[in-house]
Amino acid sequence: MTDHIPNNEQKHVVIGAGPAGRATATHLKNLDHEVVLISRSGSGPTLHGVERLAVNATDAQALVRAVDGADAMYNCINPTSYARWATEWPPIHAALMHTAQVTGAVLVTLSNLYMYGPQRDASPMTPESLEDPQDDKGRIRARMDRETLRAHQDGTLRAVVVRASDFVGPGIGENGHGTRNVPAIAHGRRAYILGSADQPHSWTDIDDVAATLATVATSPETHGLVWFAPTNPPVTQRELANQIAAVLEVPEPSISKLPLGLMKVMGIVSPLIREISSIAYQFKGPWVIDSAATTQALGVYPTDWTSVVRRSARGNVE
Protein backbone atom coordinates (compact mmCIF):
# COMPACT_ATOMS: atom_id res chain seq x y z
CA MET A 1 0.00 0.00 0.00
CA THR A 2 1.52 3.32 -1.06
CA ASP A 3 2.02 6.27 1.27
CA HIS A 4 -0.55 8.51 -0.42
CA ILE A 5 -3.38 6.05 0.20
CA PRO A 6 -5.39 6.86 3.37
CA ASN A 7 -5.25 4.29 6.17
CA ASN A 8 -8.87 3.28 5.61
CA GLU A 9 -8.39 2.75 1.88
CA GLN A 10 -7.73 -0.69 0.50
CA LYS A 11 -6.95 -1.96 -2.97
CA HIS A 12 -9.70 -4.01 -4.59
CA VAL A 13 -9.47 -5.66 -8.02
CA VAL A 14 -12.69 -6.44 -9.85
CA ILE A 15 -12.37 -8.99 -12.64
CA GLY A 16 -15.07 -8.70 -15.28
CA ALA A 17 -16.48 -5.40 -16.56
CA GLY A 18 -20.08 -6.42 -17.21
CA PRO A 19 -23.01 -4.97 -15.22
CA ALA A 20 -22.00 -6.72 -11.99
CA GLY A 21 -18.34 -5.80 -12.29
CA ARG A 22 -19.10 -2.16 -13.03
CA ALA A 23 -21.58 -1.92 -10.17
CA THR A 24 -19.10 -3.50 -7.77
CA ALA A 25 -16.25 -1.24 -8.86
CA THR A 26 -18.45 1.82 -8.46
CA HIS A 27 -19.63 0.73 -5.01
CA LEU A 28 -16.07 0.09 -3.84
CA LYS A 29 -14.91 3.46 -5.15
CA ASN A 30 -17.77 5.13 -3.28
CA LEU A 31 -16.30 3.53 -0.15
CA ASP A 32 -13.04 5.39 -0.93
CA HIS A 33 -11.05 2.31 -1.91
CA GLU A 34 -8.47 2.06 -4.64
CA VAL A 35 -10.25 0.11 -7.38
CA VAL A 36 -8.93 -1.62 -10.48
CA LEU A 37 -11.41 -3.00 -13.01
CA ILE A 38 -10.05 -5.74 -15.24
CA SER A 39 -11.38 -6.97 -18.56
CA ARG A 40 -9.92 -8.53 -21.67
CA SER A 41 -10.02 -5.24 -23.61
CA GLY A 42 -9.69 -2.81 -20.72
CA SER A 43 -12.28 -0.61 -22.41
CA GLY A 44 -15.82 0.45 -21.57
CA PRO A 45 -17.72 3.30 -19.92
CA THR A 46 -15.63 5.60 -17.77
CA LEU A 47 -16.13 5.02 -14.05
CA HIS A 48 -14.92 7.98 -12.02
CA GLY A 49 -11.80 7.13 -10.05
CA VAL A 50 -11.65 3.51 -11.22
CA GLU A 51 -8.54 2.32 -13.03
CA ARG A 52 -9.12 0.01 -15.99
CA LEU A 53 -6.66 -2.65 -17.06
CA ALA A 54 -6.63 -4.99 -20.04
CA VAL A 55 -5.85 -8.47 -18.73
CA ASN A 56 -6.77 -11.88 -20.06
CA ALA A 57 -8.24 -13.68 -17.06
CA THR A 58 -6.78 -17.00 -18.23
CA ASP A 59 -3.25 -15.55 -17.98
CA ALA A 60 -2.35 -16.40 -14.38
CA GLN A 61 0.92 -14.47 -14.41
CA ALA A 62 -0.71 -11.29 -15.71
CA LEU A 63 -3.52 -11.69 -13.20
CA VAL A 64 -1.05 -12.06 -10.33
CA ARG A 65 0.70 -8.86 -11.38
CA ALA A 66 -2.60 -6.96 -11.50
CA VAL A 67 -3.85 -8.28 -8.15
CA ASP A 68 -0.53 -8.09 -6.25
CA GLY A 69 -0.98 -5.93 -3.15
CA ALA A 70 -4.78 -6.07 -3.27
CA ASP A 71 -6.86 -6.88 -0.22
CA ALA A 72 -9.58 -8.54 -2.28
CA MET A 73 -10.23 -9.77 -5.81
CA TYR A 74 -13.73 -10.20 -7.21
CA ASN A 75 -14.74 -12.83 -9.74
CA CYS A 76 -17.48 -10.99 -11.63
CA ILE A 77 -16.49 -12.45 -14.98
CA ASN A 78 -18.57 -14.58 -17.32
CA PRO A 79 -17.46 -16.36 -20.49
CA THR A 80 -18.48 -14.82 -23.78
CA SER A 81 -21.34 -17.25 -24.36
CA TYR A 82 -23.32 -19.92 -22.49
CA ALA A 83 -22.20 -22.33 -25.17
CA ARG A 84 -18.52 -21.78 -24.27
CA TRP A 85 -18.75 -22.29 -20.51
CA ALA A 86 -17.29 -25.80 -20.62
CA THR A 87 -14.14 -24.66 -22.41
CA GLU A 88 -13.69 -21.10 -21.10
CA TRP A 89 -14.45 -21.46 -17.38
CA PRO A 90 -11.79 -24.03 -16.37
CA PRO A 91 -8.71 -21.93 -17.31
CA ILE A 92 -10.28 -18.80 -15.81
CA HIS A 93 -11.12 -20.64 -12.61
CA ALA A 94 -7.61 -22.07 -12.37
CA ALA A 95 -6.02 -18.64 -12.86
CA LEU A 96 -8.27 -17.05 -10.23
CA MET A 97 -7.48 -19.76 -7.69
CA HIS A 98 -3.75 -19.49 -8.38
CA THR A 99 -3.82 -15.71 -8.06
CA ALA A 100 -5.68 -15.79 -4.76
CA GLN A 101 -3.17 -18.31 -3.41
CA VAL A 102 -0.09 -16.39 -4.54
CA THR A 103 -1.22 -12.87 -3.61
CA GLY A 104 -3.22 -13.60 -0.47
CA ALA A 105 -6.14 -11.48 -1.70
CA VAL A 106 -9.59 -12.71 -0.67
CA LEU A 107 -11.28 -14.36 -3.66
CA VAL A 108 -14.86 -13.09 -3.66
CA THR A 109 -16.90 -15.06 -6.17
CA LEU A 110 -20.16 -13.81 -7.64
CA SER A 111 -22.03 -17.00 -8.47
CA ASN A 112 -25.59 -17.79 -9.48
CA LEU A 113 -28.37 -20.28 -8.74
CA TYR A 114 -27.83 -22.68 -11.64
CA MET A 115 -26.69 -25.46 -9.29
CA TYR A 116 -30.18 -25.68 -7.76
CA GLY A 117 -32.85 -27.77 -9.43
CA PRO A 118 -36.56 -27.00 -9.83
CA GLN A 119 -38.32 -26.07 -6.60
CA ARG A 120 -40.43 -29.05 -5.53
CA ASP A 121 -42.55 -27.24 -2.94
CA ALA A 122 -43.32 -23.77 -1.57
CA SER A 123 -40.11 -23.59 0.46
CA PRO A 124 -37.72 -20.92 -0.85
CA MET A 125 -34.11 -21.73 -1.61
CA THR A 126 -31.40 -20.97 0.92
CA PRO A 127 -27.64 -21.39 0.54
CA GLU A 128 -28.03 -24.77 2.26
CA SER A 129 -30.65 -26.07 -0.18
CA LEU A 130 -29.90 -29.33 -1.96
CA GLU A 131 -27.92 -28.80 -5.13
CA ASP A 132 -29.39 -30.56 -8.13
CA PRO A 133 -27.93 -29.04 -11.31
CA GLN A 134 -29.96 -29.73 -14.43
CA ASP A 135 -27.28 -29.06 -17.04
CA ASP A 136 -23.57 -28.50 -17.55
CA LYS A 137 -23.82 -24.82 -16.60
CA GLY A 138 -25.11 -25.71 -13.16
CA ARG A 139 -22.57 -28.48 -12.73
CA ILE A 140 -19.70 -26.18 -13.73
CA ARG A 141 -20.76 -23.45 -11.33
CA ALA A 142 -21.33 -25.89 -8.48
CA ARG A 143 -17.92 -27.48 -9.01
CA MET A 144 -16.13 -24.12 -9.11
CA ASP A 145 -17.80 -22.91 -5.93
CA ARG A 146 -17.11 -26.21 -4.20
CA GLU A 147 -13.42 -26.23 -5.16
CA THR A 148 -12.98 -22.61 -4.10
CA LEU A 149 -14.53 -23.15 -0.67
CA ARG A 150 -12.61 -26.41 -0.18
CA ALA A 151 -9.36 -24.53 -0.85
CA HIS A 152 -10.40 -22.01 1.79
CA GLN A 153 -11.05 -24.77 4.31
CA ASP A 154 -7.67 -26.29 3.47
CA GLY A 155 -5.97 -22.97 4.12
CA THR A 156 -4.73 -22.73 0.54
CA LEU A 157 -6.42 -19.37 0.00
CA ARG A 158 -9.14 -17.14 1.42
CA ALA A 159 -12.51 -17.20 -0.30
CA VAL A 160 -16.22 -16.46 -0.01
CA VAL A 161 -19.11 -17.02 -2.43
CA VAL A 162 -22.14 -14.81 -3.08
CA ARG A 163 -25.04 -16.13 -5.13
CA ALA A 164 -27.74 -13.97 -6.67
CA SER A 165 -30.91 -14.49 -8.65
CA ASP A 166 -31.66 -12.80 -11.99
CA PHE A 167 -30.30 -9.26 -12.09
CA VAL A 168 -32.45 -6.16 -12.26
CA GLY A 169 -31.39 -2.52 -12.07
CA PRO A 170 -29.94 0.03 -14.49
CA GLY A 171 -27.61 -1.03 -17.26
CA ILE A 172 -28.63 -4.71 -17.29
CA GLY A 173 -30.48 -4.59 -20.60
CA GLU A 174 -30.52 -7.82 -22.61
CA ASN A 175 -28.31 -9.48 -19.98
CA GLY A 176 -31.31 -9.85 -17.69
CA HIS A 177 -34.64 -11.66 -18.16
CA GLY A 178 -36.33 -8.93 -16.14
CA THR A 179 -34.96 -6.01 -18.16
CA ARG A 180 -34.53 -7.19 -21.75
CA ASN A 181 -38.17 -6.33 -22.50
CA VAL A 182 -37.92 -2.75 -21.24
CA PRO A 183 -37.42 -1.20 -24.73
CA ALA A 184 -40.37 -3.18 -26.10
CA ILE A 185 -42.58 -2.12 -23.20
CA ALA A 186 -41.48 1.51 -23.59
CA HIS A 187 -42.53 1.48 -27.25
CA GLY A 188 -45.81 -0.36 -26.78
CA ARG A 189 -44.61 -3.62 -28.25
CA ARG A 190 -45.25 -7.16 -27.08
CA ALA A 191 -43.04 -8.56 -24.32
CA TYR A 192 -41.70 -12.09 -24.80
CA ILE A 193 -40.85 -14.09 -21.70
CA LEU A 194 -39.31 -17.45 -20.87
CA GLY A 195 -41.60 -19.86 -19.05
CA SER A 196 -44.68 -18.72 -17.15
CA ALA A 197 -45.79 -15.12 -16.71
CA ASP A 198 -47.46 -15.87 -13.39
CA GLN A 199 -45.00 -17.85 -11.30
CA PRO A 200 -43.27 -16.09 -8.37
CA HIS A 201 -39.68 -15.23 -9.19
CA SER A 202 -36.86 -13.63 -7.21
CA TRP A 203 -35.05 -10.68 -8.79
CA THR A 204 -31.81 -9.33 -7.28
CA ASP A 205 -30.88 -5.68 -7.66
CA ILE A 206 -27.41 -5.25 -9.15
CA ASP A 207 -26.42 -2.65 -6.55
CA ASP A 208 -27.40 -5.02 -3.74
CA VAL A 209 -25.10 -7.59 -5.34
CA ALA A 210 -22.26 -5.07 -5.28
CA ALA A 211 -22.93 -4.11 -1.66
CA THR A 212 -22.90 -7.75 -0.58
CA LEU A 213 -19.66 -8.53 -2.40
CA ALA A 214 -17.94 -5.54 -0.81
CA THR A 215 -19.25 -6.43 2.65
CA VAL A 216 -18.16 -10.07 2.69
CA ALA A 217 -14.75 -9.17 1.24
CA THR A 218 -13.85 -7.26 4.40
CA SER A 219 -15.71 -9.51 6.87
CA PRO A 220 -13.45 -12.49 7.71
CA GLU A 221 -16.23 -14.18 9.67
CA THR A 222 -18.17 -14.63 6.41
CA HIS A 223 -15.35 -16.36 4.55
CA GLY A 224 -15.57 -20.00 3.61
CA LEU A 225 -19.34 -19.80 3.20
CA VAL A 226 -22.05 -19.20 0.59
CA TRP A 227 -24.27 -16.15 0.97
CA PHE A 228 -27.36 -15.05 -0.97
CA ALA A 229 -27.38 -11.40 -2.00
CA PRO A 230 -30.27 -9.57 -0.27
CA THR A 231 -33.31 -9.94 -2.47
CA ASN A 232 -36.86 -8.59 -2.30
CA PRO A 233 -39.97 -10.79 -2.07
CA PRO A 234 -40.76 -12.53 -5.37
CA VAL A 235 -42.61 -10.88 -8.25
CA THR A 236 -44.01 -12.63 -11.31
CA GLN A 237 -42.80 -11.73 -14.78
CA ARG A 238 -46.22 -10.26 -15.57
CA GLU A 239 -46.19 -8.12 -12.43
CA LEU A 240 -42.69 -6.86 -13.19
CA ALA A 241 -43.59 -5.98 -16.78
CA ASN A 242 -46.69 -4.11 -15.62
CA GLN A 243 -44.74 -2.27 -12.94
CA ILE A 244 -42.14 -1.21 -15.51
CA ALA A 245 -44.93 0.03 -17.79
CA ALA A 246 -46.37 2.08 -14.92
CA VAL A 247 -43.01 3.76 -14.31
CA LEU A 248 -42.66 4.56 -18.01
CA GLU A 249 -46.30 5.75 -18.12
CA VAL A 250 -47.20 3.44 -21.00
CA PRO A 251 -49.98 0.83 -21.30
CA GLU A 252 -49.52 -2.58 -19.73
CA PRO A 253 -47.81 -4.77 -22.33
CA SER A 254 -49.17 -7.80 -24.06
CA ILE A 255 -47.12 -10.80 -22.96
CA SER A 256 -46.30 -13.94 -24.92
CA LYS A 257 -44.29 -16.94 -23.90
CA LEU A 258 -41.29 -17.92 -25.99
CA PRO A 259 -42.27 -21.27 -27.57
CA LEU A 260 -40.12 -23.77 -25.71
CA GLY A 261 -40.89 -26.53 -28.22
CA LEU A 262 -39.60 -24.40 -31.07
CA MET A 263 -36.58 -23.35 -28.98
CA LYS A 264 -35.69 -27.01 -28.43
CA VAL A 265 -35.87 -27.67 -32.16
CA MET A 266 -33.79 -24.56 -32.90
CA GLY A 267 -31.35 -25.70 -30.22
CA ILE A 268 -30.36 -28.60 -32.41
CA VAL A 269 -28.47 -26.16 -34.63
CA SER A 270 -27.98 -23.25 -32.20
CA PRO A 271 -25.88 -23.94 -29.08
CA LEU A 272 -26.94 -20.61 -27.52
CA ILE A 273 -30.66 -21.34 -27.84
CA ARG A 274 -30.06 -24.85 -26.54
CA GLU A 275 -28.35 -23.44 -23.44
CA ILE A 276 -31.14 -20.92 -22.81
CA SER A 277 -33.73 -23.70 -23.12
CA SER A 278 -31.89 -25.71 -20.49
CA ILE A 279 -32.61 -23.09 -17.79
CA ALA A 280 -36.28 -22.65 -18.69
CA TYR A 281 -37.27 -24.64 -15.58
CA GLN A 282 -36.28 -21.61 -13.51
CA PHE A 283 -39.19 -19.71 -15.07
CA LYS A 284 -41.77 -22.46 -15.58
CA GLY A 285 -42.33 -22.86 -11.83
CA PRO A 286 -41.56 -20.85 -8.68
CA TRP A 287 -37.98 -19.63 -8.35
CA VAL A 288 -37.74 -18.00 -4.96
CA ILE A 289 -34.82 -17.45 -2.60
CA ASP A 290 -34.64 -16.54 1.08
CA SER A 291 -31.79 -14.12 1.79
CA ALA A 292 -32.79 -13.32 5.37
CA ALA A 293 -29.63 -14.94 6.77
CA THR A 294 -27.47 -12.44 4.86
CA THR A 295 -29.44 -9.45 6.08
CA GLN A 296 -29.40 -10.72 9.64
CA ALA A 297 -25.66 -11.47 9.67
CA LEU A 298 -24.36 -8.56 7.60
CA GLY A 299 -26.97 -5.83 7.99
CA VAL A 300 -27.27 -5.51 4.20
CA TYR A 301 -30.88 -5.01 3.13
CA PRO A 302 -32.43 -5.21 -0.34
CA THR A 303 -33.12 -1.88 -2.00
CA ASP A 304 -36.74 -0.73 -1.76
CA TRP A 305 -38.61 -2.51 -4.55
CA THR A 306 -40.27 0.65 -5.85
CA SER A 307 -36.83 2.15 -6.37
CA VAL A 308 -35.57 -1.06 -8.00
CA VAL A 309 -38.38 -1.03 -10.56
CA ARG A 310 -37.97 2.67 -11.27
CA ARG A 311 -34.23 2.33 -11.87
CA SER A 312 -34.71 -0.85 -13.91
CA ALA A 313 -37.25 0.83 -16.16
CA ARG A 314 -35.51 4.15 -16.70
CA GLY A 315 -32.01 2.70 -16.81
CA ASN A 316 -32.66 0.19 -19.62
CA VAL A 317 -34.64 2.18 -22.19
CA GLU A 318 -32.72 2.31 -25.46
Average pLDDT over residues 179-189: 95
Kindly state the helix (H) or strand (E) to which residue 35 belongs, with its residue range: strand 34-39
* C-alpha 174: how far from chain center: 14
Question: 155-159, 191-195, 261-265, 312-316: which range is least confident on average?
Answer: 261-265
Of the pLDDT bands very low, low, confident and very high (cuts 50, 70, 90), residue 81 is confident
Nearest one of 47, 51, 53 to 26, comparing CA atoms: 47
pLDDT of residue 262: 55
Residues 42, 52 contacting (CB under 8 angstroms): yes
Average pLDDT over residues 105-120: 95
pLDDT of residue 6: 39
Q: What is the pLDDT of residues 196-215, one digit of tens each?
A: 999 999 999 999 999 999 99
Of the pLDDT bands very low, low, confident and very high (cuts 50, 70, 90), residue 80 is confident
DSSP, collapsed to helix, strand or coil, labels residue 176 as coil
Q: What is the pLDDT of residues 256-294, one digit of tens each?
A: 987 666 555 444 444 555 557 778 899 999 999 999 999
Mean pLDDT for all residues in the chain: 91
pLDDT of residue 206: 98
Taking the complete model, does pTM exceed 0.85, yes or no? yes
Domain with CATH 3.40.50.720 in the chain: 11-169+205-232+288-303
Q: DSSP secondary-structure letter at 190? A: P
pLDDT of residue 280: 86
Nearest one of 32, 81, 29, 72 to 52, comparing CA atoms: 29
Q: Give φ, ψ of 111 to 5 degrees.
A: -110, -170
Q: What is the pLDDT of residues 86-97, one digit of tens each?
A: 999 999 999 999
Report the percentage of the chain scoring pLDDT > 90: 81
DSSP, collapsed to helix, strand or coil, labels residue 113 as coil
Tally helices (H) and strands (E) across the chain: 12, 11
Q: What CATH class does 11-169+205-232+288-303 carry? A: alpha beta
Q: What is the pLDDT of residues 21-77, one digit of tens each?
A: 999 999 999 999 999 999 999 998 889 999 999 999 999 999 999 999 999 999 999
Does the pLDDT of residue 147 top 80, yes or no?
yes
pLDDT of residue 122: 75
